[in-house]
Amino acid sequence: MSTFIPEDTHRQVLGSCVDVPEESPSFPLPLKKVGISGKTVWVHLVDNKGGCIPFNATILVNLDANRRGIHMSRIEQAITSLHAKEFSSLPSYGKQLGKLILKAQNARCLSLELTGLLPLIQQAPVSKLDSIDTIEVLFKLELEKSKAGITLKTGVGAGVHHLTACPCTLSYNEVLFNRFNDPWPQATHSQRSKTQLLISPPDHEQLPTFQDLTGILASVLHISQDLLKRPDETELVLKAHRSPQFAEDTVREVARAAGEKFRDTLGPKTRIQVHSLSLESIHIHDVQCFLDTELGDILATLLVTKQE
């Protein structure tokens, strides 16, 4: 592609002009986070059999008081340098990208967040048909450079859509119709919900896989599926009504399952966060519930409940 101005001229200008981002700002205050968001990065993952998967990236670094701005193009250059490479996992890509950008920006701190979708293949309970569904995945990275080296804080998350049935109306109808011992659950309202589990171990080498997180969610939630025949729909609805859940129940049960899964593999200081959003069917408002705790607190609660 030809250029309007000779390339030699561009090189001469670059060699003599001022590097504006390196100038002193008119008001020298340090900035904690500055960077880009809404950037799509294409990651070549081994599990995807050769294809690239798009993820949304937010990349932020600190800016010292004596520097006017960051070099935006250097972030894009780092992303481009990894485009053709294959990675064993999203965290391995994120860690390498974060280190490249931290060095290129001559920054001390970096915050990176990658979000996207991965396929989830589920088999319907009766028809046995495969439903091609999705999980929402998340990788978080914080880097801080000091004289001792670079410290990393990481976390991985997975989110699923699922069905909840309200315990209140169900319980009320049992009394109303005197159907306490009925093997079939009473009528209640149900709603589609979305619950996310985020795990942040102190040791960044101990990150669980997205499959681990999805397994935890599926073990305690009534996961939604796109491909369901009528018998499959009936089974899912009955399952949700036989084990009705508040949003509060979903986050607690996910935390319990995470504790049982990681009790022997992750340290007690592992941070566990669960967020659930219930899209209410009979109300105009929605319901949200957050849980933010450590694995040690979950294990202590498990011990108490088993003793009771």
DSSP string, 60-97: EEEE-TT-----HHHHHHHHHHHTT-EESSHHHHHHHH
Which pLDDT score, from 0 to 100, does residue 50 have?
Answer: 63
- The tokens for 22 are 């390196």
Is residue 116's pLDDT more than 80?
yes
Q: How confident is the model at residue 48 (pLDDT cuts 50, 70, 90)?
A: confident
How many folded domains does the chain comprise?
A: 1
CATH for 294: 3.10.270.10
Q: How confident is the model at residue 15 (pLDDT cuts 50, 70, 90)?
A: confident
Residue 288 belongs to some domain of the structure: yes
What value, to the nearest 5°, has the Cα angle with vertex 94 and ends 45 and 112? 140
DSSP string, 41-52: EEEEEGGGTT-E
Q: How far is CA 138 from the centre of its chain?
A: 3
Instruction: Please enumerate, as own/partner, the contacts of 278-284 that have beta carbons within 8 Å and a separation of 24 or more.
Output: 278/164, 278/191, 278/193, 278/247, 279/191, 279/192, 279/193, 279/194, 280/191, 281/189, 281/190, 281/191, 282/189
Tokens 């949700």 identify what position?
240
This model's pTM is above 0.85: yes
Question: Coil, strand or helix: which one is 54?
Answer: strand
Which pLDDT score, from 0 to 100, does residue 47 have?
Answer: 81
**CA dist list (Å): 292 to 38, 104, 138, 201, 297:** 26, 34, 16, 13, 10
**Mean pLDDT, range 254-277, rounded to an integer:** 98
Q: How confident is the model at residue 92 (pLDDT cuts 50, 70, 90)?
A: very high
Residue 152 belongs to some domain of the structure: no
Is residue 307's pLDDT more than 80?
no
Residue of 118, 106, 281 whose CA lies nearest to 191: 281
Is residue 308's pLDDT more than 80?
no
Amino acid at 15: G
**Mean pLDDT, range 102-109, rounded to an integer:** 95
Residue 38 belongs to some domain of the structure: no
The sign of the dihedral angle between the CA atoms of 228, 231, 232, 234 is positive
Residue 37 belongs to some domain of the structure: no
Residue 165 belongs to some domain of the structure: yes
DSSP string, 178-210: T-TT-SSPPP--EEEEEEEEEEE-SSGGGPPPH
Q: How confident is the model at residue 227 (pLDDT cuts 50, 70, 90)?
A: very high
Residue 187 belongs to some domain of the structure: yes
**Mean pLDDT, range 149-155, rounded to an integer:** 95
Is residue 117's pLDDT more than 80?
yes
Which pLDDT score, from 0 to 100, does residue 272 have?
Answer: 98
**Mean pLDDT, range 16-38, rounded to an integer:** 94
Which pLDDT score, from 0 to 100, does residue 19 have?
Answer: 87
CB of 256 closer than 8 Å to CB of 297: no
Pair type for strands 149-165 and 222-223: antiparallel
Q: What is the mean pLDDT of the chain?
A: 95
Q: Which of 67-81, 171-185, 222-236 has the lowest mean pLDDT?
A: 171-185
Which pLDDT score, from 0 to 100, does residue 111 have?
Answer: 98
Residue 248 belongs to some domain of the structure: yes
**Mean pLDDT, range 42-68, rounded to an integer:** 92
CA terminus-to-terminus distance, the chain: 75
Residue 141 belongs to some domain of the structure: no
Is residue 181's pLDDT more than 90?
no
* Residue 257 to residue 151: CA distance in whole angstroms: 29
Q: Which residue range is the domain that position 266 belongs to?
A: 158-308
Residue of 81, 116, 115 whose CA lies nearest to 96: 81
